[in-house]
Structure 1
Amino acid sequence: MGAREMAVAARESSRRLQALSSEERKKILLAVANALETNEKLITEENEADVAAAEKAGYEKSLISRLVLKPGKISNLAKSIRMLANMEDPIGHVLKRTQIAEGLILEKTSSPLGVLLIVFESRPEALVQIALLAIRSGNGLLLKGGKEAKQSNAILLKVITEAIPESVGSKLIGLVTSRDEIPDLLKLDDVIDLVIPRGSNKLVSQIKNSTKIPVLGHADGICHVYVDKSADMNMAKRIVLDAKVDYPAACNAMETLLVHKDLVQTGGLNDLVVDLRLEGVTLYGGPRASAELNIPETHSFHHEYNSTACTVEIVNDVQAAIDHIHEHGSAHTDCIITEDHEVAEVFLRQVDSAAVFHNASTRFCDGARFGLGAEVGISTSRIHARGPVGVEGLLTTRWILRGSGQVVDGDKGVTYVHKDIPIDS
């Protein structure tokens, strides 16, 4: 089946999915969760084969880390799916109701986008999260995974599609296996409604430059933690270490540590540096930190390490930290650690990132941790969906107008009142 045929088939299946009741769509999600747990051993075996092949091929450690389905991952995915199933049905939700005129009622409702194309690298769990979010939001889906996860993706798709009832059809989700098909898919702006790339900066940039289809995603995850002069240093150490070493390959891991200049004199900077080094983190400095700590100077502040390395720089105050983030960041997730709530509010109001935190690790920027059930990705695009994107980010709106024979007739016969009607009425 060619690219266009796959996209058209996904749209047709999505319309059948939307025609089901909320309870029937919920049952599909629960069936998938059960199927994943039932087939965990088989999924793990296929994933281990992918990991062994990637190691033999000499792939980077960060890619292999993202490829591995760690113990407990399948049960966590199943748990997320059940959480998603039990959330309020997002389709056809009335967002606003207005009486336009006598006997003329207008509703703004939530509606599926249509067909999504997801191009992703390494992470096989991304296939599961995206597929289930697509089902929950009533969208058709085309997936293109990396060749390094070929066996993992194939078995996961098989398990998921076998749980989809024939009345909807397994073509709701299509797996594109050849890289050569991507250029053709990116030309299908008449049958694909949104592209979501998940992977390297290079992948995201290539896709953004190759399509007229709207693209949702982020090219970089250059996350900052700023430690203010009034920070509780025990708290700061916990947050900085978690943000960097909990999962260094994640897009929400800290890549740059900014420290208030007063912490040089108090020893706070040194304490943070010692703790990072004890965890095996390689440090690079901006001009000030490089001279102060005698560490190599970074070649660029706009750099995502995706490993146990980070940049450190000293700044004069919160405004300097904000300016640094705006100049060198990627608008993903940025954090301030401070006990001064006025300073915290300045940071939270002025940092123009998709997620901005006070006294909490950047690692919390995640769909499951935010209670979205799962995420299709993290968006730094300044569009309708920003930050972790769950079901709501895969919806658009439709206008439903209910009348009783009215016509415009040059607006002579209509008296407009434009009166808001409570949604629960």
Structure 2
Amino acid sequence: MNDLSTDTAGMDVAAVVADLGQRAKAAAQELALATADQRNLALREAAKALRARTDDILTANAADLDSISGKDAAFIDRLTLTQDRVAAMADAVDAIAAQSDPLGRTLATFDRPNGLKIDRVSVPIGVIAMIYESRPNVGSDAGALCVKSGNAVILRGGSESLHSSRVIVACLAQGLLAAGLPEDAVQLVDTRDREAVKLLLHSTDTVDLVIPRGGRGLVSLVQKEARVPTLLHLDGNNHSYIHQDADIAKAVGIVQNAKMRRTGICGATECVVIDRQIADQVLPLLRDALGDCELRGDDAAQKILPGIIPATDADWDTEYLSNIISVKVVDDLAEAIAFVQAHSSGHTDAIVTENHDAAKRFMTAIDSAVVMHNASTQFADGGEFGMGAEIGIATGKMHARGPVGAEQLTSFKYFVFGDGQQRP
């Protein structure tokens, strides 16, 4: 089983990572030939195992929490598992199992004049290395999505979540074995040695895609070191823009949820942008609705709300992941678009307005993976998009963008059918 009980300290980490890659490559070949029923059975059995081992997972998570110090509240929240969160993990795995099969879909068909028939068919990517920080539930989501899409996955979670990750991966392995599939389809890099990350990024012979999910430090490392293709998940410096034609009560409710529902997730709003025409009406209501959230405002916001903290240039580019929000007052839609474009991380941005022309202009102009109208940015989540779960929010423009579910973890190839044709 992958439920390793010993640390790899003192081991040859290069050898460990090389072995993981070879085993994952072999497992990916088997998984690509598995039926949808087998893959779905593996996921349903994994969900059962997660529920049955809830106490083990929580005990392991308690050990993770005991091993850290000096971390902020947002980090601790992301690391913490509860009975409800473990139940949500299992429910997400079941939801992924219930989805239609992303493999073997005929994406296009071409009938050529020479009689050749060409089908473009969805296939697995192969071996995916998932590198993530602190949130142990990401391992469950990523493992389940990879199994569903026929990919083997090597999980390298944050060192702080190692105890939790061991038990979660063991549950996924239990499901694979129950379905007659190789447990090596989901493996854990069971070491705290950071060299393992670089080694994964250099594993061009065995790894087909690397997906990082974490802060700018991790993403910068991946961008610098990766020799394997990457699907980047960047930070969520998200904006909610309250347009002059907004329903003010609706706007305040949306922003309150977008910021305060969970401040430590990448879908949280970090900056609210408000049209000057309604700022004096909105800001006092918003301050009250946000409760203990610290507001940092520009000059115009400070005049309306004396005593709030002045915003610095750095605030406009900061993903707080805590009870802090910046406030920018703008003259009109054009200035709002220019400001958001200049400071957004390309994750999720929203407009609140009853003016549909303004909404269309904003959503078309803002170059983010997810753009919203009259909705909380916290809906930027694969589960909320009907994907069961997500492996991350891709903020680039190639291959996949926005929430990455099972369908986005497939590639395609061409099946060409002939009857003796020879090219002249």
**TM-score normalised to the size of structure 2?**
0.92
2:48 aligned partner? 34
- Equivalent of 2:317 in 280, 302, 309: 302
For 2:299 and 2:230, how far apart are their aligned partners in 1? 36
2:3 aligned partner? none
For 1:303 and 1:216, how far apart are their aligned partners in 2? 22
How far 1:194 sits from its partner (Å)? 1.1
Mapped contact 2:283–2:305 kept (Cα < 8 A) = no
How far 1:215 sits from its partner (Å)? 1.7
1:6 aligned partner? 20
1:319 aligned partner? 334
2:123 aligned partner? 111
For 1:304 and 1:131, how far apart are their aligned partners in 2? 27
1:418 aligned partner? none
How far 1:195 sits from its partner (Å)? 0.9
How far 1:365 sits from its partner (Å)? 0.5
After superposition, residues 195-234 of structure 1 pair within 5 angstroms as 195-234=210-249
How far 1:52 sits from its partner (Å)? 2.6
Confirm whether residue 169 of structure 1 aligns to residue 182 of structure 2: yes
1:2-49, CA deviations, whole angstroms, 9 ceiling, x for partnerless residues?
322211210111111111111111111111111111111111111122
Mapped contact 1:218–1:379 kept (Cα < 8 A) = yes
How far 1:341 sits from its partner (Å)? 1.2
Confirm whether residue 254 of structure 1 aligns to residue 269 of structure 2: yes
1:282-319, CA deviations, whole angstroms, 9 ceiling, x for partnerless residues?
01113432454343222321111110001001001111
Query: Given residue 311 of structure 1, which amino acid in structure 2 is its aligned partner?
Result: S
How far 1:187 sits from its partner (Å)? 1.0
Secondary structure, aligned partner of 2:252: helix
2:87 aligned partner? 75
Query: Given residue 129 of structure 2, which amino acid in structure 1 is its aligned partner?
Result: L
For 1:201 and 1:6, how far apart are their aligned partners in 2? 26
For 1:165 and 1:94, how far apart are their aligned partners in 2? 30
1:399 aligned partner? 414
1:366 aligned partner? 381
Confirm whether residue 285 of structure 1 aligns to residue 285 of structure 2: no
Mapped contact 2:43–2:172 kept (Cα < 8 A) = no
How far 1:217 sits from its partner (Å)? 2.3
Query: Given residue 106 of structure 1, which amino acid in structure 2 is its aligned partner?
Result: I
For 1:154 and 1:239, how far apart are their aligned partners in 2? 38
Give the percent of matched residue pairs that are identical in Structure 1 and Structure 2: 33
For 1:196 and 1:126, how far apart are their aligned partners in 2? 12
Confirm whether residue 179 of structure 1 aligns to residue 194 of structure 2: yes
How far 1:234 sits from its partner (Å)? 1.0
For 1:272 and 1:2, how far apart are their aligned partners in 2? 52
CA RMSD, aligned part only?
A: 1.5
2:34 aligned partner? 20
1:351 aligned partner? 366
Mapped contact 1:205–1:219 kept (Cα < 8 A) = no
For 2:74 and 2:46, how far apart are their aligned partners in 1? 29
Deviates more, 1:286-295 or 1:117-126: 286-295
Evaluate the alpha carbon distance shift between residue 77 and residue 254 of structure 1 in structure 2; reply closer, same or farther with a 3 A threshold: same
Query: Given residue 78 of structure 2, which amino acid in structure 1 is its aligned partner?
Result: R
1:218-262, CA deviations, whole angstroms, 9 ceiling, x for partnerless residues?
332101000111111111111010011100011110100000000
Secondary structure, aligned partner of 2:83: coil
Query: Given residue 170 of structure 1, which amino acid in structure 2 is its aligned partner?
Result: E
- Equivalent of 2:159 in 147, 160, 163: 147
2:206 aligned partner? 191
Secondary structure, aligned partner of 2:108: strand
Query: Given residue 194 of structure 1, which amino acid in structure 2 is its aligned partner?
Result: L
1:81-104, CA deviations, whole angstroms, 9 ceiling, x for partnerless residues?
222112111111110011123431
Secondary structure, aligned partner of 1:163: helix
Secondary structure, aligned partner of 2:317: coil
* Structure 1: gaps of 5 or more residues: 410-425
1:49 aligned partner? 63
Confirm whether residue 125 of structure 1 aligns to residue 106 of structure 2: no
2:9 aligned partner? none
1:390 aligned partner? 405
Secondary structure, aligned partner of 1:76: helix
Deviates more, 1:173-182 or 1:154-163: 173-182
Confirm whether residue 66 of structure 1 aligns to residue 49 of structure 2: no
Query: Given residue 384 of structure 1, which amino acid in structure 2 is its aligned partner?
Result: H
For 2:259 and 2:295, how far apart are their aligned partners in 1? 11
How far 1:71 sits from its partner (Å)? 2.9
2:97 aligned partner? 85
- Equivalent of 1:137 in 137, 141, 149: 149
- Equivalent of 2:348 in 319, 333, 347: 333
For 1:340 and 1:58, how far apart are their aligned partners in 2? 46
Mapped contact 1:142–1:173 kept (Cα < 8 A) = yes
Mapped contact 1:198–1:377 kept (Cα < 8 A) = yes
Mapped contact 1:11–1:139 kept (Cα < 8 A) = no
2:6 aligned partner? none
For 2:331 and 2:295, how far apart are their aligned partners in 1? 20
Query: Given residue 376 of structure 2, which amino acid in structure 1 is its aligned partner?
Result: S
Aligned length: 404
For 1:84 and 1:143, how far apart are their aligned partners in 2? 18
Deviates more, 1:351-360 or 1:184-193: 184-193
Runs of 4+ in 1 over 4 A off after TM superposition: none
For 2:215 and 2:184, how far apart are their aligned partners in 1? 28
